[in-house]
Amino acid sequence: MKYGIEQQGFLLKCSNCQNIVSKNGDLQKNFCEECGAPLSVTAIADYEQQKEETKKLLLNTMKDIAIKNNTDSFTKIIKIMIEEY
């Protein structure tokens, strides 16, 4: 997903879906109401941070499953995750 805004004069568009998010150059929304992409710098930072935390959590969960089930097979780990979570 692309995020942030594209500016054409006073027209601000969502970088991801090209939805017009402002017509007067003033960005009032943090997220695009069309596709949900973060638009403002704060929203983008939050999004990036959440993405990193989710990635860490997922990797830790996968590591736990691998240890618990004594397997390094990615396919097996995914199968166990689907069954257990």
- Contact status: 33 vs Zn ion (CB under 5 A): no
- Shortest Cβ 68–Zn ion spacing (Å): 40
Adjacency order of strands within the sheet including 5-8: 5-8, 11-14, 20-22
- Contact status: 21 vs Zn ion (CB under 5 A): no
Between CA 78 and CA 75 the distance in angstroms is 5
Among 11, 27, 35, 66, binds Zn ion (CB under 5 A): 35
Residue pair 25/12 in contact by the 8 Å Cβ criterion: yes
- Shortest Cβ 24–Zn ion spacing (Å): 18
What is the binding site for Zn ion (CB under 5 A)?
A: 14, 16-17, 19, 32, 34-35, 37
